[in-house]
Amino acid sequence: MRGIIFWSLASATTLLYTVQALELVKRSSPAVVGFELERKKIVNPIEYDKRRRRRQSDSQVVNQVLDNEKTLYFCNITLGTPPQNLRMHIDTGSSDLWVNTPSSEICSDRRRLCEVGGTYDPRRSSSYRRINDDFNITYADGSGAAGDYVSDTLRFSDVTLRDFQFAVGYTSSSREGVLGIGYASNEVQVVLNRQRPYANLPQALLDGDFIKSNAYSIWLNDLGASRGEILFGGVNAAKFEGTLKTVPVVGVRRSRRDLAVALTGLSVRTGAGEQRFPSGNFPFSVVLDTGSSLTYLPDVITNEIFDAVSAVWDPNFGAAYVPCELANYDAQFVFTFSEPSISVSMDEMVISPGTSPTGETLRFRDGTEACIFGIAPAQVNIAILGDTFLRSAYVVYDLENNEISLAQTRFNVTNNEILEIASGRNGVPRATGVRDPVSSADITPSATLATTLTPISTLTPTMDGQPVSSTAGAAPTLKPEYPLGVIAGLAGAGMILAAM
C-alpha cells in the first residue's frame, strides 16, 4: 500500500428536479431474483462500522432472503466449480464482491475465524480465471483486503452467472466477505485505477436477462426479526404501507458514486407532540447504507438528540450509551425526504450489547443497565442512514434511473405480493414521483442552528418501566475484557479509502 486516496466532498446548491414514478408490473412469473437476508449478531458492531468506513419465469425479479443477526445482514451464495459455499455481508455502500481465501493470514488462524463466512479457493475450481492483481481496498481504520480480480461461476437462488467478476482477498483483515451492490462507478478498479467498470451483481443480473431493470428493493424487518429480504428487479408490495415515494439520488463527490438522497427534515414525535429541528440545518446529503450498523448524523443534530435521550458519548469506543429502558418510551424519530417521511420508533434505536464472556451486563455507574444508542455523530464524514434507520423503511434503489423510492415498512409480514420493476423510466411499481424534490445538497448542514428538545426521560414509558434517571457524565462501567465497540465509524456507504 503506497498511499491512500481521499475523495473531496463537493457541496452544491439546492436544485429542483422532477422525478418519475416507478412502474411496477404484476405478472404470474415476475422477472425478480431474491435473497433471503439473515441478520448476524456481531460482538462489536461499532468497531465493524469503523472498519467499513471508506472509503423465474417470464417475469424477472431475483429474490434472496437476508440473514438478520442483530446488526449486520448476510446472504448465501456459491462460487466456483464445484460450488464453494459462502455467506456474504450485503452492502449497498460498496460495489465489489470480494471473498477471503483459506490461505490468508486471518483465515488460516487456528481460531478458524472464517469458518462461518466461508472462503473461496481458486485452486479447487475448474472454472476460475485470473484477471489482474488490481484489487486493493483500505478502510478508514487501516484494515482492508488486497488481491486479485478473478472470474468464476456465481450461483444463488435459481441464478447462475458464469464468468462473473469479483475479487479474492489474499491479504485480508476481515473475516467476512462483502457483496457490494452499489453503483459500478464505485468499484475499486474504477476509483483507484481509472479503469472501466465491470458488471457487478445488479448489472450482471440485468445483462443475463434475469431482471428487467438495474434496481432492487430491501426489507430488513424489525430489530427482533432474524430474516429480511432483498429483491433484484422487483418489490414486495405486501412489505410496505401506502405507496412508494420517489426522490433523486444526489451527487456528493462531483459524481454519483454513493446512494445518497437529500434529508430535508428531522423531528422527534412523542405523546406530547412533535418537535422539529430548525429548517436552517437542512437539507444535507445522507447515504442509505445497509453495511452500516448505526445511523450517523451531523454533530450539531446528534448533540441535541443525545441531550434529549440522556445519552452518554464515550469517545474511546465511539459509542453513545442510553438506559435500556429508553426502548419502552413512546417516541419516534421522523426523517423527511422532500415529501416522504419515515418514522423510526425508539425501540429500534436502542440496541442491547449483550453480556460479556463472563456473563456481565453493561451498566452505568448507578447500576442502570446500559444499551447502545442507534445514532452517532458523523464528525467530518458524510451522514449515513444505516440499519437503525433502514429497518423502518422499505427502500427501492433504482440504479438505472438514479432514483430512490421509500415507504414505511411493515414489520413481520408473512404474505407476499411480488411485482416486477419495468425497464426505463417509471419502472418501479406502486411508486409516485415527488414534485420538485431537492436534488442536490451539502454534505453537512448549511447552518448550525440548534434547538432544545424536551428530554425524552421526562415522558412516561409505554410499558411498566420506571422513568429513566439522568446518567450524564457517567459512562458505563465495564470489566477490561468486555467486548466493546458497537458503533462509531462505519459510516461507510462507498466511502472506501482506495490504497495505491
Q: What is the pLDDT along the chain (500 residues), one digit of tens a residue?
A: 332 222 222 333 333 344 455 555 555 567 899 878 887 555 555 555 555 554 433 445 666 666 554 457 889 999 999 999 999 989 898 899 999 999 998 999 888 889 989 999 999 999 999 999 999 987 654 567 899 999 999 999 889 999 999 999 999 888 889 999 999 999 999 988 889 999 999 999 999 999 999 999 999 998 888 889 999 999 999 999 999 999 999 976 566 788 999 999 999 998 888 888 887 888 999 999 988 889 999 999 999 899 888 899 888 777 899 999 999 999 999 999 999 999 999 999 999 887 666 777 888 888 888 999 999 998 878 899 999 999 999 999 999 999 999 999 999 999 999 999 998 887 787 778 777 777 767 766 655 555 555 555 444 333 333 333 334 345 554 422 233 333 232 233 333 333 33
Task: Give the CA dihedral 252, 254, 257, 263, nearest 10 degrees.
Answer: 20
Per-position DSSP letters for 452-498, written without gaps between them: -PPPGGGSPBSSSPPPPPP-TT-PPB--TT-----STT---TT--BE
Question: H/E element holding 67?
Answer: strand 59-69
CA distances 296 to 42, 378, 442, 475, 476, Å, are 19, 5, 15, 20, 21
Residues in the chain: 500
Task: Tell me 252's DSSP state.
Answer: S
CB 94 within 8 A of CB 159: no
Strands 159-172 and 144-156: antiparallel
Scanning the structure block, which residue is given the C-alpha cell 445497509?
290
Q: The C-alpha cell of 205 is what?
A: 443480473
Q: DSSP class of residue 332?
A: E
Q: Which domains does the chain have, with CATH numbers?
A: 4-499 (2.40.70.10)
DSSP 369: B
Please say whether the beta carbons of 92 and 182 come within 8 A: yes
Rounded Cα distance, 239 and 405, in Å: 14
**Residue whose entry in the numeric block shows the C-alpha cell 470480494:** 98
Q: How far apart are CA 119 and CA 140, in angstroms?
A: 24
Q: Which residue, among 388, 315, 376, has the nearest Cα to 351 in the 3D structure?
A: 388
Sign of torsion, CA 400 402 407 409? positive
pTM value is: 0.81
Rounded CA separation 69/38 (Å):
6
What residues does 97 pair with on adjacent strands? Answer: 179
Do the Cβ atoms of 178 and 91 come closer than 8 Å?
A: yes
- Angle, CA 347 vertex, CA 410 and CA 239 arms, to 5°: 10
Strands of 234-236's sheet in order across: 24-25, 418-421, 234-236
Nearest to 197 by CA among 207, 186, 208: 186
Active site residues: 91, 289
The distance between the two most distant Cα atoms of the chain, rounded to a whole number of Å, is: 65
